[in-house]
Amino acid sequence: MKQGYKQVKRMTPAMRIIHWVNAICMVGAVITGLYIGHPYYQSFIADGAVDKYVMAWNRYGHFIIAILFDVTSVIIAYLYFFSRFEKPYKKVIPNGKNIAEFKAVVVNLLTLNRKKEFDSSHADSFNTVYFTIFHLLLAWMLLTGLQMYVHGLESGMSSIGTWWPWMLHLVTDWTIPVCGGTLMDVRIAHHMTMWFILCWVVFHIYYQVWRTIFWKEADIAIVIGGSKFVKDDSAN
Amino acid sequence: MSDRIETVKKLFTSKSSRVETNKGDTYYQELFEKCEARLNEMRSLTPANKLDFTDLLEENGIDRREFMKWASATTAMLMLPPMFTPLVADAAVMMNRAPVVWLELQDCAGNSEALLRADGPKIDEIVLDIISLEYHETLQAASGHQAEKQLDEAMEHFKGKYLLFVEGSIPMGMDGQYGTIGAKGETFHDHLVRCAENAAAVVAVGACATFGGIPAAAPNPTGAVGVMDVIKNKPLINIPACPANPANMVGVILHYVLTGQVPELDSLLRPKFAFGYRIHDNCERRAHFDAGEYVEEWGDVGAQNNFCLYKMGCKGPMTFNNCSIVRYNEAVNWPIGVGRGCIGCSEPDFWDKYAYERPMADAKIKAPTGGVEKTVDEFGLGMLTAAGIGIAIHAAASTVAGKRENSGESHE
Ligand code: HEM
Ligand code: SF4
Ligand code: SF4
């Protein structure tokens, strides 16, 4: 370890697994989602239609990813409140301390790291809010996606029982009027939100790399080894 | 806004489009007796229309067997058990006792055409022929003051009993002056409100009367709306589609004549027996959809092999209607069957949101603010580019600033 630095644990193995599952799912969801929206390659397979299932596999992949997202987002929602490690909800409550910290981090970013007046060893308010936005976008994807999905269960039945479409209607039907009133609006919203998420991802990656380079605290290692390094004041 | 909130509330409490088709013997026994009593009562009425159904069937060369086949199919469509077949047949015969007032507002008369212009009328059309049309602006012989008198008399005579069919949207702009009727220049809006007042139920037929349809498409110069936005205090049934399928009109009238009730409706007030099906799930091209075999341009190899029309803009996946099952013109064919995609004609806002003949992802869509027309991907890529530029500037600035800092450090 570099002299004068100490190691702080930031992400548990479970959190890191969730992070990478999410990242891989994201790529998969975009690739399959764009195919569903506009099939961009052709299936020239000299086989009967019943054998090749190109669209069906894409949709299948998209939905499996959706289920993974479902599960991880439930876990994450749980961790927000009950994590024994760090409870992120404490950082998104808009109290004086958090707002001040949020501002300080933004100032740090805008002054190109000239000013750094907050404790960077722990998850800061700015990043936690930023992650919360992601989870909200993902939840929105889930809700609009499941709304589109339930269109195909119009008989009210499914292989796992009638409760499933019933629950999906109960939980997602409100997205129709919120998106603009028609089923197509939900689809437009779903597709559009993908771009918001992509923008989110681009800044997210940039920001973590930027921190790593300019803070010199190995932030990028958090998501791999689970910890970062901060100057150990007590050593000096 | 309060409208929106209302819809949200309704949606939270609405069930799926499923109709419980087995409500138990007691329920159906009771309904059966009720319907029987109702038909007996009707039988005692003198028909308002002199046309006789049985004669008409004979004239058109339709035998009893064919008629009974139709009756059992219609019973199934209405989601009633087979024991109702004789009642449905009776009800069809007594359709000449069902008084109907038909209003023609801002539209193309396509729904009237749909039920009149079938070549060699089939049973659905004959049923519609013999309903007692007390007033139909396009069809009646009477005109001017005479027509108005006829309307007033019908409304008086069948007070609280007649079904009001409405075709066409209601222009609300300029105080409704975009559409007026009669010598007094009554606006469509006032005309509709007046005629609906004493109706037993209101049936909106076609895309325009239900959700505003093409007149309501952007920029909606006349401020067109559907009947459901004007009439709030009456039982209302929406039979959208462009044109509404005569089979569904017959279904609704029959259901009403038979049971005296409005059929089970979905959250858009469409009868579930007709609009509880998604086009995409009953489409003969669905195997090609799942296989990823699409028509890429009109007349290509895919088109010749009946591939899926998704990439030509088919909106079957987002459209609820039964035309993939009952088809049009007594099941002769339907749009996707003849090789062109569904344009979502039974959904609200279909002209702006569905009918652009390309996949949604490729369509230029108006932003809610009005102005820009871009595809979602163009808009999204624009956003991403903007984010990229912002990041590039920040990165460059950071590097320069970092260097300066470093050199500063070395001076110390
Ligand atoms: C978060 C990542 C996700 C991304 C980036 C994404 C992206 C997309 C895209 C681009 C489309 C095509 C829309 C169009 O242009 O027509 C689509 C369709 C769809 N997505 Fe997603 N999606 C995501 C998550 C989900 C989730 C969680 C679900 C939940 C089940 C879901 C369900 C659907 C459905 C049902 C469709 C329509 C496909 C069809 O029925 O043919 N998506 N998605
Ligand atoms: S033609 Fe339309 S309704 Fe039929 S399978 Fe293709 S997308 Fe679905
Ligand atoms: S295929 Fe679609 S657009 Fe055509 S009539 Fe049926 S619902 Fe309407």
Total domains, chain B: 2
Q: Give the separation between CA B374 and CA B328, rounded to whole angstroms.
A: 35
Residues with CB under 6 A from ligand 1: A 29-30, 33-34, 36-37, 59, 62-63, 66, 69, 138, 141-142, 145-146, 148-149, 187, 190-191, 194, 197; B 317, 360-361
Chain A neighbors of B347, CB-CB under 8 A? 182-184
Point out the domain boundary residue: B340, B362, B384: B362
Whole-Å CA distances, A155 to A18, B278, B283:
35, 9, 15
The answer to whether B256 and B1 have CB atoms below 8 angstroms apart is no
Give yes or no: residues B287 and B226 share one domain: no
Ligand 2 centroid from CA B318, angstroms: 10
Give yes or no: residues B207 and B82 share one domain: yes
A178 touches chain B (CB under 8 A): yes
A214 touches chain B (CB under 8 A): yes
Interface of A with B in 32-91 (CB under 8 A): 34, 37-39, 42-43, 49-56, 58
The answer to whether A22 and A72 have CB atoms below 8 angstroms apart is yes
**pLDDT of A152-179, one tens digit each?**
998 888 888 888 998 999 999 999 999 9
The answer to the question of residue B385 being in a domain is no
The answer to the question of residue B17 being in a domain is no
Residue B371 is predicted with a pLDDT of: 64
The answer to the question of residue B203 being in a domain is yes
Which residues are within 8 A (CB) of B257 and not within 5 positions of it... i.e. 6 or more apart?
B38, B42, B91, B94, B95, B97, B98
A233: confidence class by pLDDT, cuts 50, 70, 90: low
Contact A37 B361 (CB under 8 A): yes
Largest CA distance in chain B: 111
- Of A79-93, A184-198, B53-67, B96-110, the range with the highest mean pLDDT is A184-198
Ligand 1 centroid from CA A145, angstroms: 5
Q: Decide which of B20 and A40 is more confident.
A: A40
Burial of B108-144, coded b for 16+ CB within 10 Å and e otherwise, reads: bbbbbebbeebeebbbbbbbbbbbbbbbbbeeeeeee
The closest CB to that of B291, out of A34, A55, A202, belongs to A55
Structural domain harbouring B249: 30-275
Among all bound ligands, the one having the nearest atom to the CA of B314 is 2
B165: confidence class by pLDDT, cuts 50, 70, 90: very high
Q: Decide which of B387 and B123 is more confident.
A: B387
The closest CB to that of A182, out of B310, B353, B387, belongs to B353
Ligand 3 atom 6 nearest Cα? B323
Ligand 3 centroid from CA B347, angstroms: 10
* Residues written for chain A: 236
Q: For the ranges B133-137, B178-182, B247-251, B259-263, which has the lowest average pLDDT?
A: B133-137
B12 touches chain A (CB under 8 A): yes
For ligand 2, whether the C-beta of B309 sits within 6 Å is: yes
Give yes or no: residues B126 and B247 share one domain: yes
Contact B294 A39 (CB under 8 A): yes
CATH number at residue B116: 3.40.50.700
Total domains, chain A: 1
CATH number at residue A154: 1.20.950.20
Q: For the ranges A9-13, B190-194, B232-236, B318-322, which has the lowest average pLDDT?
A: A9-13
- Of A71-85, A96-110, A112-126, the range with the highest mean pLDDT is A96-110
Give yes or no: residues B100 and B229 share one domain: yes
For ligand 2, whether the C-beta of B340 sits within 6 Å is: no
Chain A neighbors of B315, CB-CB under 8 A? 184
Q: Give the separation between CA B55 and CA B60, rounded to whole angstroms.
A: 9
For ligand 3, whether the C-beta of B274 sits within 6 Å is: no
Mean pLDDT calculated for residue range B279-305: 92
A236: confidence class by pLDDT, cuts 50, 70, 90: very low
Give yes or no: residues B249 and B128 share one domain: yes
- Give bridge partners of residue B294 from the DSSP assignment: B308
What integer best gives the mean pLDDT of chain B? Answer: 86
B197 touches chain A (CB under 8 A): no
3-state secondary structure chain B: CHHHHHHHHHHHHCCCCCCCCCCCHHHHHHHHHHHHHHHHHHHHCCCCCCCCHHHHHHHCCCCHHHHHHHHHHHHHHCCCCHHHHHHHHHHHHHHHHCEEEEEECECCCHHHHHHHCCCCCCHHHHHHHHCEEEEECCCCCCCHHHHHHHHHHHHHHCCCCCEEEEECEEECHHHHCCCEECCCCEEHHHHHHHHHHCCCEEEEEHHHHHHCCHHHCCCCCCCEECHHHCCCCCCEEEECCCCCCHHHHHHHHHHHHHHCCCCCECCCCCEHHHHCCEHHHHCCCHHHHHHCCECCCCCCHHHHCCCECHHHCCCHHHCECCHHHHCECCCCECHHHHCCCCCCCCCCCHHHHCCCCCCHHHCCEECCCCCCEECHHHHHHHHHHHHHHHHHHHHHHHHHHHHHHHHHHHHC
Residue A41 is predicted with a pLDDT of: 85
The answer to the question of residue B89 being in a domain is yes
- Give bridge partners of residue A230 from the DSSP assignment: A6
The closest CB to that of B402, out of A174, A185, A214, belongs to A214
Residue A113 is predicted with a pLDDT of: 84
Residue B411 is predicted with a pLDDT of: 39
Contact A169 B317 (CB under 8 A): no
Interface of B with A in 229-248 (CB under 8 A): none
Give yes or no: residues B225 and B293 share one domain: no
- Of B16-20, B27-31, B44-48, B60-64, the range with the highest mean pLDDT is B27-31
Interface of A with B in 110-169 (CB under 8 A): 112-114, 148, 150-157, 162, 165-166, 169
Contact B376 A199 (CB under 8 A): no
Structural domain harbouring A134: 5-235
Contact B354 A196 (CB under 8 A): no
Interface of B with A in 86-115 (CB under 8 A): none
Residue B408 is predicted with a pLDDT of: 47
Ligand 1 centroid from CA B177, angstroms: 45
Whole-Å CA distances, B371 to B39, B200, B362, B367:
57, 44, 18, 7
Mutation for testing the B interface, residue in A154, A206, A210 having most B CBs under 10 Å: A154
Ligand 3 centroid from CA B68, angstroms: 28
B395 touches chain A (CB under 8 A): yes
CATH number at residue B348: 4.10.480.10
Residue B368 is predicted with a pLDDT of: 63
Q: Whole-prediction pTM value?
A: 0.88
Contact A153 B16 (CB under 8 A): yes
The answer to the question of residue B303 being in a domain is yes
- Of A199-203, B1-5, B30-34, the range with the highest mean pLDDT is A199-203
Residue B319 is predicted with a pLDDT of: 95
A45: confidence class by pLDDT, cuts 50, 70, 90: low
Contact A155 B18 (CB under 8 A): yes
Residue B121 is predicted with a pLDDT of: 63
For ligand 2, whether the C-beta of B286 sits within 6 Å is: yes
Name all contacts of A27-30 with Cβ < 8 Å and 24+ positions apart. A28/A61, A28/A62, A28/A65, A29/A62, A29/A65, A29/A66, A29/A69, A29/A141, A29/A194, A30/A194, A30/A198
Among all bound ligands, the one having the nearest atom to the CA of B339 is 2
The shortest C-alpha distance from B341 to chain A (Å) reads: 15
pLDDT surpasses 70 at A27: yes
The answer to the question of residue B145 being in a domain is yes
Q: For the ranges A102-106, A190-194, B3-7, B181-185, which has the lowest average pLDDT?
A: B3-7
Q: What angle do CA B113, B354, A158 make, to 5 degrees?
A: 100
The answer to the question of residue B93 being in a domain is yes
Q: Within 13 Å, how many C-alpha atoms sit on residue B305's CB side? A: 13
For ligand 3, whether the C-beta of B241 sits within 6 Å is: yes
Residue B344 is predicted with a pLDDT of: 95
Contact A174 B12 (CB under 8 A): yes
* Residues written for chain B: 412
Interface A:B, Cβ pairs < 8 A: 163
Q: Give the separation between CA A177 and CA A174, rounded to whole angstroms.
A: 6
- Give bridge partners of residue B170 from the DSSP assignment: B225
**pLDDT of B189-245, one tens digit each?**
999 999 999 999 999 999 999 999 999 998 899 999 999 999 998 999 999 999 999
Radius of gyration of chain B (CA): 27
Q: What angle do CA B44, B159, B224 make, to 5 degrees?
A: 130
Chain B neighbors of A156, CB-CB under 8 A? 15-18
Give yes or no: residues B215 and B345 share one domain: no
Give yes or no: residues B162 and B310 share one domain: no
B369 touches chain A (CB under 8 A): no
CA A109 from centroid of its chain's CA atoms = 22
Ligand 1 centroid from CA A33, angstroms: 5
Point out the domain boundary residue: B362, B381, B405: B362
The answer to whether B151 and B86 have CB atoms below 8 angstroms apart is no
The answer to whether B219 and B249 have CB atoms below 8 angstroms apart is no
Mean pLDDT calculated for residue range B133-139: 77
pLDDT surpasses 50 at B409: no
Tokens representing B333? 């064919």
